A and B are shown apart, each in its own frame.
Chain A
Amino acid sequence: MSQLDPTIDLPLAAPPRRVRGRIRVPGWVALLLRNRKSRAGLCMVLFMVLVALVAPLISVAHPNDFNLLAARQAPSWHHLFGTTDQGSDIFSQVVLGARRSLLLGAAAGILATGVAAILGITAAYSGGLVDEGVNFLTNVFLTIPPIPLLVVASGYLKSRGMVTMAVVLALVLWAFEARILRGQALSLKSRDFILAAKASGESTPRIVFGELMPNMISRIAAAFVLVFYIALLTDAGLEFLGLGDMTKTSWGVTLYWAQTNSTVLQGEWWPFFFPGAALAFTVLGLVLLLAGIDEVSNPRLRTERPERRRLLAALVGGRLVARAEASA
């Protein structure tokens, strides 16, 4: 239909502008900051990163210090998040645990993104047998349930150090991302600038790394956000099942001890709530960021929502909404 569609075509695929060898802040980053969801998500994630960075300064005790006299204490001014059944300070465990959890998630995310980007984009560009093969492999990996596979695989591991875990996670999780990136590269591959590069006889690696990848940076970044939070969840999940490095401090490990010592069944909510909430908060931030990216790249998802505003107004009163509107 030739109906007017008041949408903006975003320059997501525009070649990055190089200014004297230095890449300027791309337009989509600015767009992201203007979107309400992605801005909120980014703030939440950055807050957690900040907590992880200053953790040694704000933690009150060594996370594994135990004091049986102070065991099983509910949250108080002395122990902000309460104590475990060994008397360890949960606040310290949560803020210090953020370091290992975030780092491992990010490392696995980066590795998986690397594998996925190279495989997915090369497959999409090459087409033919290469594409069939990669697509097949991706689909096979998508049908093997990742958590059980990881549970069994980590059972065989001799060490469950950071690097090993990151590699194992990446090997299991790359398929999600490869599928997404392949699809997007397919739609990009027939664009004029790729056809031009092909016609001028550039080699496949040159086109994949020199043309396609730089133009897919925003999509690769979005895919990274996705796999980052999946890795974060999966890693914490494995530790929660007792299959991580149980000598280290992380959210999953704190949760594992809460579950193993049946603190929940004894009515203690704080040993599982705070590390779990920290994880959920981070993941929610990443999900919001992703939703924002979706809205920016698919303008149809964000249109005027007068009804929602009215509903909001009814729920929280007019002033808040007016402020939100002014900032939007």
Chain B
Amino acid sequence: MRWFARRLAFYVFAIWVALTINFLLPRLMPGSPLGGLLQHLTPSQLSANPGIVQTYEALLGGGHHSIWQDYVTYLHRIAHFDFGISTSNYPTPVSEVVGRTLPYSMFLVGVAFLLAFLVGTGIGMVAAWRRGGAVDSVFVPVFMVLSAFPAFFTALLGLYLFGLKLHWFPIQHAYDNGVIPGFNWAFLSSALRHSELPILVVVCAYAGGWVLNMRTVMITTIGEDYVTMAHAKGLRDRRVMTRYAGRNAILPPLNGFAALFASAVGGLVFVEFIFSYPGAGYTLQQAVLGNDYALAQAILVVLSVCVILANLIMDVLNLVLDPRLRTG
């Protein structure tokens, strides 16, 4: 349990660091932060959004105080989920824009990453168990090649082949035109249909990491005495593979979960951009290109918090799966 308390403390600290980096980013750039931001804007953008200067000032803490005062104000506002006004959706508050886009992303990345994990570790486990067998000789190289593909390349290929040429999946947006988002079957089924190809792409792009990782650890685990002993006990092959070798081999890859999930959240940005999928990643890219810094910063904070929450879930899972952590 002390282990878990330490992890929790770490996550609180990590969130604080993420917030601080977020706060410092515009201020670390040379020149006055406000001037730097305004410089990216065209005169027409300025005249179209009269509130934009105030929004930037609010984002930067007002500009009239010391950096410490700004910092305190900033943390105070974040604690109240006040991220300011989105300039590209003027005058909608940033929190509302984030609230609208986040569910799509959470669904997409959550389902896709879970699938990638299950498929990847499963294939890695079987490949190591039957070295040189069909799974090892076919799936492992395929996933190795796929994982070397940039996520956006995989996405573009998928879009072109399965969406455009074969018409297996809808190719753009999160739901059909004319469907109104809400908790009804028409919307949910349409949304599900539209999420299939993006999910498939993320699985293809990220399962490879799990395959290789799991295979490597599994090969080492197979040499452990408890696997030999399970075999000697006359257990069925499948049971030795899953309950003895696989069950132990899965623990080290789980520790690499943090980095892989963080990078999958990055891949989300590309996939959403390519499929014009209105999630947090696409919104982030549009916000940065449209100089909507308040929105961009808020999304970065929210995504970081999501990654940290996912890590927390993984830690609980780790605690469930490894009895040595519970007593230690």
Residues of B within 8 A of A234 (CB): 266
B273 partner, pick from A153, A241, A273, A284, beta carbons under 8 A: A241
- Which of the 9-residue segments B87-95, B110-118, B237-245, B304-312 touches chain A? B304-312
Question: Which one of B153, B220, B265 has the highest number of Cβ atoms from chain A below 10 Å of its Cβ?
Answer: B153
Mark out the residues of chain B between 62 and 108 whose CB falls within 8 Å of any chain A CB in the assembled complex.
none
Instruction: Check A307–B262 contact: CB distance below 8 A.
Output: no
Instruction: Check B148–A280 contact: CB distance below 8 A.
Output: yes
Give A153 to B303 CA distance when docked, in angstroms: 15
Give A259 to B276 CA distance when docked, in angstroms: 11
A159 to chain B, nearest CB (A): 10
Mark out the residues of chain B between 248 and 273 whose CB falls within 8 Å of any chain A CB in the assembled complex.
258-259, 262-263, 265-267, 269-270, 273
Mark out the residues of chain B between 191 and 209 whose CB falls within 8 Å of any chain A CB in the assembled complex.
none
Given A143-B307, A156-B29, A300-B220, the answer on whether A280 and B267 have CB atoms closer than 8 Å is no
Question: Is there a chain B Cβ closer than 8 Å to A57's Cβ?
Answer: no
A88 to chain B, nearest CB (A): 19
Residues of A within 8 A of B320 (CB): none
Residues of A within 8 A of B303 (CB): 145, 148
Residues of A within 8 A of B39 (CB): 158
Question: Is there a chain A Cβ closer than 8 Å to B121's Cβ?
Answer: no
Give A142 to B288 CA distance when docked, in angstroms: 23
Residues of A within 8 A of B259 (CB): 142, 176
Instruction: Check B266–A279 contact: CB distance below 8 A.
Output: no
Q: Can you name the residue of chain B whose Cβ is closest to the Cβ of A279?
A: B150
Instruction: Check B164–A267 contact: CB distance below 8 A.
Output: yes
Instruction: Check A143–B311 contact: CB distance below 8 A.
Output: yes
A-B contact count (CB 8 A): 185
At the interface, is chain B mostly helix, strand, loop or mixed? helix
Instruction: Check B288–A158 contact: CB distance below 8 A.
Output: no
B271 to chain A, nearest CB (A): 11
Instruction: Check B132–A308 contact: CB distance below 8 A.
Output: yes
Question: Is there a chain B Cβ closer than 8 Å to A311's Cβ?
Answer: yes
B270 partner, pick from A142, A144, A241, A283, beta carbons under 8 A: A241
Residues of B within 8 A of A236 (CB): 150
Instruction: Check A152–B297 contact: CB distance below 8 A.
Output: yes
Give A145 to B299 CA distance when docked, in angstroms: 11
Mark out the residues of chain B between 205 and 245 whose CB falls within 8 Å of any chain A CB in the assembled complex.
212, 216, 219-220, 223, 225, 228
Instruction: Check A240–B147 contact: CB distance below 8 A.
Output: no
Instruction: Check B153–A241 contact: CB distance below 8 A.
Output: no
B36 partner, pick from A1, A148, A158, A287, beta carbons under 8 A: A158
A290 to chain B, nearest CB (A): 10
Interface size in chain B (residues, C-beta < 8 A): 73
Mark out the residues of chain B between 266 and 316 whose CB falls within 8 Å of any chain A CB in the assembled complex.
266-267, 269-270, 273-274, 281, 284-285, 288-289, 291, 293, 296-297, 299-300, 303-304, 307-308, 311
Q: Can you name the residue of chain A whose Cβ is closest to the Cβ of B267?
A: A147
Instruction: Check A301–B150 contact: CB distance below 8 A.
Output: no
B137 partner, pick from A273, A286, A300, A312, beta carbons under 8 A: A312
Mark out the residues of chain B between 4 and 61 whose CB falls within 8 Å of any chain A CB in the assembled complex.
10-11, 13-14, 17-18, 21-22, 25-26, 29-31, 36-37, 39
A interface with B by C-beta (< 8 Å): 1, 136, 139-140, 142-149, 151-158, 176, 229, 233-234, 236-237, 240-243, 255, 259, 264-265, 267, 269, 272-273, 276-277, 279-280, 283-284, 286-287, 291, 294, 298, 300-301, 303, 305-309, 311-312
The 18 sampled A-B contact pairs (Cβ below 8 Å) are A1-B225, A140-B13, A143-B258, A144-B262, A146-B262, A147-B267, A148-B265, A148-B303, A148-B304, A155-B296, A158-B31, A176-B259, A241-B288, A264-B164, A272-B160, A276-B156, A276-B157, A308-B133
For the complex with contacts A148-B300, A242-B289, 6 further pairs of A-B residues with Cβ separation under 8 Å are A276-B152, A280-B149, A284-B145, A287-B144, A305-B131, A307-B137
